[in-house]
Structure 1
Amino acid sequence: MLHLTSLLLIILINVEAADMVSISVVGHTGPMIEGTWYELRCDVQKVAPDQLLTVRWYKGQTLLTDTSFNDSIKTPVDKSATYWIFANTTDDGAEYRCEAVLRQRQAGPQPPTTEMSEPLLVTVYCNCPVVLQPPAVVVEYGTSVSANCSTSKPHFGMAWEVPQGAVDLREDVQLITWNLSRLEDWDIKPLCYINIKNQTKPDKRHLPVIVYKTPDNVSISIVGHTGPVTEGTQYELQCDVQNVAPVHRLTVKWYKGQTLLTDTFFNDPTKTPVNQSATLQISPSRADDAADYWCEAELRLGPAAPQPPPTMKSDPLHITVHYGPEISDCPEYVWLKEGENLEGYCSVTGNPLPEPRWLKAGKPTDPTSPLRRTENRHNYTMYINEDTRQHLMVFVMYGPEISCRKHITVLENDKVEPNCTAEGFPPPEVTWFKEEQRVYFPKRMQRADAGKYVLVAVNNSTSNHTLEIEVQYSPSGIMGLNDQSVTQGSNVDLNCTSSAWPRPDYEWIYHPEPNVRIVSEDGVSKLSIASASGNNTGTYTCIASNTLGKTNLTVRVDVQGAEALCPLIVNPFNVVLEYRQSVVVECNTSVSPSDLHWEFLNHRVNNGTLLVNSSQFKNWDETPRCTGKFIGLDTCTKHVDITLYKTPDNVYNSIVNHTGPVIEGRQYELQCDVQNVAPVHRLTVKWYKGQTLLKDTFFNDSIKTPVNQSATLQISPSRADDAADYWCEAELRLEPAAPQPPPTMKSNPLNITVHYAPQIVSRMNSVLVPIFSDVSLNCSAEGNPEPTVMWSFKNQTIITGRRQSTLTISRATSANAGIYTCTATSLSWSQTREVKVEEDYRFLLISVFIIVFIIIFLIILVAYKKKRTRKYDITRNNNCMAMKPLKNN
């Protein structure tokens, strides 16, 4: 018989202190402006329950107000409270703080849990000409300190008024520095004042100074007690902080292990070092055994102080908690299975730990001895002392003992009888369950009947046995697999699953690509395509199979915006083939195809090599096509671009509608006839004069079979073209795959004769002929045909010649003077030129002048010689000699 013990549910309210408390000015940084309202905000993070929360506001050590919360939220939340202040000069250097106080219910620890924010130092800008930098200082006692006082206004002097390091009045500066190498005044109040011009009173400003000293020692102890503590007894811990200042900046933090328990703050205004103590009430439990309590002194000196704030820890106070002895988890009735023992029943706790004894019918017994079914209904006692003992009635049960297989495998629609038995004391009642629903055997099994069946055998205890019946059946249709159309770059998942037992194996038939991965898990085979491309377009077949059969389903994936993969490689893919020639083309692939063949001239060639014989072409536009069928890919085809060409049978050049010589300046049309050439759109006719390329003629005719084609060239010959050779050349431009250089055929040269008008080339316009002299007049002309040249004088022909005629005049007289005409004629052309012949008397005049000159010269010469032959008489006069001519005899 089972006896149920009642359960007592005790609901405890969990009180959590705030993680952090901070104070700030809403929407403002820097100094405040005098006469302006500002909103202070206190943020309390992760506090619960918030209905027990009170926020207290302080200015210095003065409590201003408090804010309470009435929300019913019990989980930790962030809370905020606000407080408005009106800034004035009395607030300059003031420190505002907020404190989160979590009031405890009666069951909670005492006193209330508190958490204080760091102080908010307020600087009020009053449009005062006195500027302090820094606006406030925090300095350790006995160390150096300095601050600047400055102004931008004209003044009659500025000074620092301070007991230590005073600065005398100075007028020649705008900034003075208070500097002290060792500060030893605990309540120093430096004052900077400036005598501003045009003001009756000086402007003054105090520098807030916080002087601090860290503790000499921090220690923790139990008030009035030493040694172990007793569970449930109230004790008082005391933290002693020696020689610390200022006290109102001191916070004592209490810890158990690394857990902060509470903070203790002080309001003592004393600024000099003192000894200070804080206490904490504790009521140790057994969970506190071997716990370390310690305290930490921290000086909260504001943001201008060293960071982190100065702290000092005590040594840990290690406590030992005595409790018990107690017996627990000891039921009045114990039902044990045969072979089990009493070990583990009835827990014993206590410090020091007691040693229990077991009695059976008043006699000692070993609780670890296994019990037999013959020992039913015996009384046992766990004994510690006369006041602490526990009686138990022990029942030894055996069974139910179930004899049954663990696994049966059947085919769908087969009938099953498990044939399981159960033995035990008392005799068990046997029931079959599946998913907590009662079932009956024998049973014809369907696939939905597969699973775990539980045979429950009940007497004074309950035994059960799980029988797994496996119903095997072949795979049904594929589920969860559908066609998909996706954009390029998308990720694609194809899920394939089939109902079958044994679980089917999955096989995918598809075109493999590096971005395709298959993962089978929990009866589902997933084919994933990462960043789909055109190579993934195709079919995907999933096959599900087990030992009883198989099924499959094929779906299609289309990747929009991407060209599907065709893994055929045709070489060469661009063929330039001369008519009546052959070429071999290959079709290969790196992917194993199920079918690869050529289609050409309505024939199928079932291998990758194709002989293309142009003689078999029925027309000149045949395209061999290679077709391949691949696993998972669409059937694809690639063709060979064949350019079939034929060089001309003949190329010749002629003048359209003209034979014989041409006339200079007239327009003629040359025609180049190219016979039986293909393809015409690849034909270029090049025109040459001698070795000079004149023009290219291209053709756009789309006919690919051989045709006759003509090209024309307009010429206007000049005499320089006489005897020139004109010729044309047919060239087939057949792309880089064609023979190099390209196939060409030249015409025979067309030699032309140019007839042009005669032109007299002599430059003679007039001739002066000395009288009685001989003179020759030459006239020559050029032209084709060769011109006839003749001289005429006074309308009478004198002499005629071919291309040149020379007229000679002997011993010219005035009768020979006049206009002589040279005439050049050829065919219907003629040209004339006149030459004027005049008598030249200049030689006769020169001859007469020379004769007269010679006669005059001879006369002068004879007279000179006669004068040189006179006689002279030489006489001396005054030592000078004179010579006189003698008289003629």
Structure 2
Amino acid sequence: PVNTSSVLVVNVTRDENAVEVRCEAQLELGPHGPQHPVVSQTLNLSALYAPEFRTNQSRHIIVNEGEDVSLTCEADGIPPPKYQWTINGIDALETSDTLKIINVNKSATYSCTASNKHGNVTVNVSVDVPEVTTTAAPAAMASPQALTPQEIPEVLFSIISTDVQGTVSRYLLQCVVVGATPAENILVKWYKNDVIIKSVHEPARTPVNTSSVLVVNVTRDENAVEVRCEAQLELGPHGPQHPVVSQTLNLSALYAPEFRTNQSRHIIVNEGEDVSLTCEADGIPPPKYQWTINGIDALETSDTLKIINVNKSATYSCTASNKHGNVTVNVSVDVPEVTTTAAPAAMASPQALTPQGCSITVTPPEVVVKFGDPVAINCSTAATTTFRMGWEYSAGKATVNNSYAFWKIDKLEDWTLQPICYVYPDIGSPCIETASIILYQTPDLVSVSALEDGPMEAGSTYRLKCDIYNVAPAHNLSVKWYRDNTTLYTDHITTYDVTPRNVTSSLTITPLRSDHRSLFRCKAELHLGPRGPELPPTAASAPFVATVLYAPEFKEGNISKELTPDRDVTFDCSAEGNPDPEIKWIYKPAHNLKETTEGRQKIITVTAATSANAGFYICVATNKVGNVTRTVTLVMRGKTSSVFVYWLPILLLVIILLVGLYCLCHRRKKKGEYSFVSESDKSSIPMTGSAAGKSQEGNQNNL
């Protein structure tokens, strides 16, 4: 048993955008050996490319002093680009694709750089704040006309009419510029998806509402476009520069309703059962629905008609319509009649009156198939004689024999397809069995992103999002989260939907400093039951590289070093943190002390040390997350440390007090100020008056 490795170079072009690469391994033991299963792993690879701006965003903006402005810098790239803004060449703190400037007070050039590991692009935006100057006119010229201010226009944008010609939608648009003086200086520009398509000056000289009309075509291939009308008052090179005012419309390609699948079909149900009919169509504007039952209008106006307790056969029609056309689908619901024939009296035995009935066996009982793959299902019956048997279906083809019916489809692409096998026996009730088909589709793309902008800080809480695009069925999906090669969490999706949809899973993390540059990824797995693939179909995201900011941390703690007179001593300080910390020493300056920097180390060198160099040297490491300190204590060899010098007077005072107390006690005992009588001496020997007097005098002297 060994680990075998295979290496392959795979190219992914920008035209391909994303590809799925699968590595399969199988143990082959020859034609007579056991057949082992194929094991595989799948990777989704994207085309990597440097950032590219979605539009040419370099531009010149004029704003009045005190106004707010928001600048955008939107770029595409894989990996997703990071952004950095500068103001007149000086880095700004903003690292998203939008920079909000509050209360603009001066002109400046704002630059945004979008970068990833494959390159970078930069866009410049000039924000101009015009100076407001007031010049007094000569008295002879002070006429009302000369002092009339210019009026800034307002733009109103509207759709006059629409028309559809084949796959082209024609919009008649009107851009109205409301009152400006002089109107001859109004310049109107039309844009379609940021590309100028028309520019025109208007001739009037008094405040008026100026109108410009344009026909814009939107094709089904374009799907949707953005049309913008801009107006600006131009007063020549010596006049004030007025801002551009504009309005934007989003226009979609208009088309008549179209059914998502060919939904005309024939359904067989037993009397008393319930049935739900669907009629799903796309169109712009969204279609309205109308149902009829045998040509008579029903009250239902949604895309679903629920029939409760079906009691007779009927034809149900659904019409989807909008102003550009309509389509109709018909569904025949058949309720077989159950007939009972009385047997002759001679045959009236219990056995003869018991219905024979029927049974249906569908093989396989459940089919799991990938979207676009072929399917084949057999239906057989144990009934000895049958009136009729077969399949009801909206796609594929069937082959019917006396006791079985075979249905197949070469390419299954209908998410709602439910073939029904039916048997009408000569005696008894009809039997029906719906084929169980699980149609699945692996995701087109799986990606991980952070819900919060910018880097993470250690100890704070953040959320990661896993986006899974176009997967079905969603309720069979589980999402596994990984940090590097460690499984963190498995999310089981509970949304029930058999058609492809986009699914999102989230993970809450509290990163540590050790998580910096960790790779977070998610993997989508479709668990399709015992009849599904032996290895669940999977799709994994590209890794999300976590950037974790954390406070500085020293590699060593506080230390003490001895100074030898006239000898040199060197010590340093460095710390690890993200971003890289700034190192600073705090100490008492001296003429023989020098501070140098090597890399991220700050080094202090003391030349020919003296007692003046003894003391505390404090190192401070700081970054945007926090700061830490450590201390280096220098002590002069052979001399009392500065700390001991501070405590020496206090120690001497304590010793003097202890010696004084000892001498006082010893003196009192020696002079015999107090007399004691032995227990063996039974005579009463009182203290003499002279002795008492001396004792009192001694006490007074002591006091």
Name the TM tier (shorter chain).
0.3 to 0.5
Answer 1 or 2: which has greater strand percent. Answer: 1
* Larger relative contact order (Cα-Cα within 8 Å, sequence gap ≥ 6): 2
Q: Give the TM-score, by structure 2 length.
A: 0.38
Q: Give the TM-score, by structure 1 length.
A: 0.31
